[in-house]
Amino acid sequence: MSLNITCPICGKRNGYEFRYGGEDRGPRPEEATLTPEAWCRYVHMNRSVAGVQREWWVHRDGCGLWFSIDRDTRINVQVMAPSTDGQEGDR
């Protein structure tokens, strides 16, 4: 499936160079107060939106940086900023 990703260091590259790191769920929760349910939500539950989602990628075959992008999951295109209609893709 075709995807291009813009790495903050290396620039726009073929998606094959990157590995997906999941949806952006925010920093790790505090361990002391964490219930099993909250832990499960943080670790396993995806929102799987049809639209723009913020997610993590690593430039595995490049600089090795972890960074987050916004991607429109309906057309599989990285978008510059979250937009509601998702049509303005950065290609």
Partner 1 sequence: MNRLHHLKTSKVHPGERRTLRYRGREVAGLEGDTVATALYAGGVRVFSRSLKYHRPRGLYSLDGESGNTLMAVDGVPNVSAEITPLRAGMRVEPQNVKGTPEFDVMGFMDGLSWAMPAGFYYRMFHKPAAIWPRVIPQLRRTAGLGTLKPDFEMPGRFEEVYLKTDVCVIGGGPAGMLAALAAADRGLRVILLESRPWLGGFFEYREHPYADGSSLHDRSADLERQLESRPNLRIMKHAPVVAVYPTLQVTAFQRGADSASFDERYPEIQAQSIVVATGCIERPLLFENNERPGVMQPSCAHRLARTWGILAGERAVFSVGNDLGIEAALDLANLGMGIACVTDVREDGQAPQLLDELSSRSIPFMRGWVPVKAHGCRSVKAVTLSPVNGIRQKKVECDLLAASAGLTPSTGALSLAGARFSYDSLTGFFLPSTLPDGVHAAGRLLGLQDARAIEISGTEAGLRAAGDCGMDVAETLRTLADEQSTLPGPVRNPKLVMGPVKGSKTFLCFDEDTTIKNVSQSMEMGFDVPELIKRFTAAGTGPSQGAVPGHNLALFVGQSHESPDTEPRPTTVRPPLHPIHLATYAGAGHGMSKCTPVHALQAAAGGRMEKVGVWSRARRFSDEKSAHDEILNVRQNVGILDGSTLGKFRIHGPDACKALQRVYVGDMSRIREGRIKYSAMCNEDGCLMDDGVVVKRGENDYFFTSSTARAGSTIEWIRYHTRYDGWDYHLVNLTDAFGVINVSGPNARKVLQKVTDFDLCNESFPFAAYREIEVGGSIPARAMRLGFVGELSYELHVPSSYMESAWMLVEEAGCEYGMKPFGLEAQNVLRMEKGHVIIGSESEQRTTLHDLGMGFLWHRNKPDARTVGAAALIHTEHQEDRLKLVGFKMQPPADRPPKDGSIIVDGVIRGYVCTARLSPALGEVVGMALVDEPLSGIGTEWSIYEDECQGKLLGAVVAPMPFYDPEGLRMKM
CB of 15 to partner 1, least distance (A): 8
Residues 34 and 12: their CA atoms lie apart, in Å, by: 39
Angstrom distance (rounded) from CA 82 to CA 88: 10
Please report how close the Cβ of residue 32 comes to partner 1 at its closest, in angstroms.
Answer: 5
At its nearest, how many Å lie between partner 1 and the CB of residue 25?
10
Report if residue 50 touches partner 1, rule: CB under 8 A: no
Helices (H), 31-80: 36-44
Give the number of other CB atoms < 10 A from CB of residue 8: 11
Residue 46: other Cβ atoms inside 10 A: 10
Q: Which of 6, 39, 41, 46 binds partner 1 (CB under 8 A)?
A: 39
Per-residue binding string, partner 1, 5-34, x by CB under 8 A, is ---------x----x-x----xxxxxxx-x
